[in-house]
Amino acid sequence: MFSKILIANRGEVALRIIRACKELGIRTVAVYSQPDINSLHVKFADEAICIGSAASANSYLNIPSIISAAEITDVEAIHPGYGFLAEDAHFAEICESCKIKFIGPTPENIRRMGDKMAAKDSAKKAGVPTIPGSKTVVKTKEEAIKIAKEMKYPVIIKAAAGGGGKGMRVCHNDVRLIGAFLTAQREAEAAFGNPDVYIEKYIERPRHIEIQILGDGHGHIVHLGERDCTIQRRHQKLIEESPSPMLDAKLRKKMGEAAVKCAKSIGYVNAGTIEFLLDEDKSFYFMEMNTRIQVEHPVTEMVTGMDLVKEQIRIAAGEKMALKQDDIKFNGSAIECRINAEDPDNDFMPCPGKILTFNTPGGRGVRLDTHAYAGYEISPYYDSMIAKLIVHGKNRAEAIGICRRALDEFVIEPIKTTISFHRKVMSNPAFLRGRFSTDFIERLFEKGES
């Protein structure tokens, strides 16, 4: 087991990792940018090294600085957390060459799944269903019609060089397709300088279901169930829960096995998550794989009773996972609300500033992962998430009740936070019924229910 680990991250995840290390008797080294000097992770680590100025490029993404800090403090391993360098294969390789263990997957794992098209390919090869689509760019409208017929409507035309919703057109029939195909090409040309488009099956009202997996590097991989992360705003997750109201034991087993198969096929090591889109008819499609510990990992921890960060550290230290798939039990229901320093009444505008009042919720079934405290200055340089409120109940209804109660107790002033937004969701009929898809937030604000 390691005797000292450096945490190459900040905020709540740095604190999370420090907690796991402390419980394992491992000494910790925090690295921080100048404005983060009063951060909790700096205060609670055994040693702390300032690695640069505010900008991430100068600090949390500054590989030479971080490796230097690792060398002068003589650590044996680095935990990259999530974001920053967590999925930087180059950084993982540098750690290896400096004889510092990177707590996470191998550089090859990261590279393979980092390339989204190659990842989809890997999933396909492993026999995991992927979103049906054209294999290459679609050049003519005749080709487009042929492909749409194969995949069945509705389909979506996407710009190959695209993003941000531009050059995307949803079509429900041949007539619409022809017109849309030509305009999509023109739009793509105008926006990206490249008229190339491809076609995919369009999943209407999908649910976002991800499966947590753990691989021990000795060929043994298990899945720890799903997390339903459908509640998103502009593709950013806001609320996550497990189990998903859409999954029964049979579907969970099927998706879990698909995820494990996919991970096994690339020899995946350590913690990872496979993301799927779930259609209304319960068919699921591989979307992508995240080769890191994720923000919403506590949801899985509450339901399985496991400590995922400790497992990551043990796996990195070379331990064989004794856990078998049948040993993993799912208990009750967990929900996580990401509390951001944003104003939900003002288009979620970020609100950095000093926290004066910080009254944290407590009581049965409540877990709070946060790096904030009364007197803490939220800086404008990093992401706006300041806390994760995680609740656990016997079932979904109880978890929602606990969440509502906990949100009522959670007072953060004077900065604006998304607590009020979460309270609305916890009373929303569609959410309570468990029937919603990725357009939930859009519709919530459209209807003027906010």
Q: Which residues are catalytically annotated?
A: 292
The interface region with another protein, picked from 61-69, 318-326, 360-368, 396-404 by CB under 8 A, is: 61-69
Q: How far is the CB of 77 from another protein (least distance, A)?
A: 17
**Residue 96 CB, nearest distance to another protein (Å)?**
14
Note whether 439 binds another protein by CB under 8 A.
no
Is 60 within 8 Å of 82 (Cβ atoms)? no
> Is 226 strand, coil or helix?
strand
Decide: is 188 part of the binding site for another protein (CB under 8 A). Answer: no
Tell me if 429 contacts another protein by CB under 8 A: no
Helices and strands per DSSP (H, E), number in the chain: 15, 22
Q: Which is nearer to another protein, 59 or 437 (CB)?
A: 59
Determine if 20 is a binding residue for another protein (CB under 8 A). Answer: no
Least separation in angstroms between CB 318 and another protein: 20
Separation CA 361–CA 255 (nearest Å): 35
From 331, 326, 353, 332, select the one nearest 341 (Cα to Cα).
353
Pairing outcome for strands 270-278 and 207-215: antiparallel
47 binds another protein (CB under 8 A): yes
Q: By CB under 8 A, name the one of 8, 49, 385, 399 that touches another protein.
A: 49
Q: Closest separation between CB of residue 105 and another protein, Å?
A: 23
Please pick, from the candidates 17, 30, 69, 407, the single residue that binds another protein as defined by CB under 8 A: 69
Peptide bond between residue 64 and the one before it cis (omega within 30 degrees of 0) = no
Contacts of residue 236, defined as CB under 8 A and 6 or more positions apart, other chains included, come to none
Question: What does the alpha-carbon distance between residue 303 and residue 335 come to, in Å, rounded to a whole number?
Answer: 10
- Calpha distance 74→156 (Å, rounded): 52
Q: How far is the CB of 295 from another protein (least distance, A)?
A: 27
CA-nearest of 34, 69, 70, 32 to 53 is 34
Q: Give the residues across from 29 on adjacent strands.
A: 6, 47
**Toward another protein, which CB reaches closer, 45 or 180?**
45
93 lies in the binding site for another protein (CB under 8 A): no
Q: Which residues bind another protein (CB under 8 A)?
A: 22, 25, 27, 34, 46-47, 49-53, 59, 64-65, 67-69, 71-73, 98
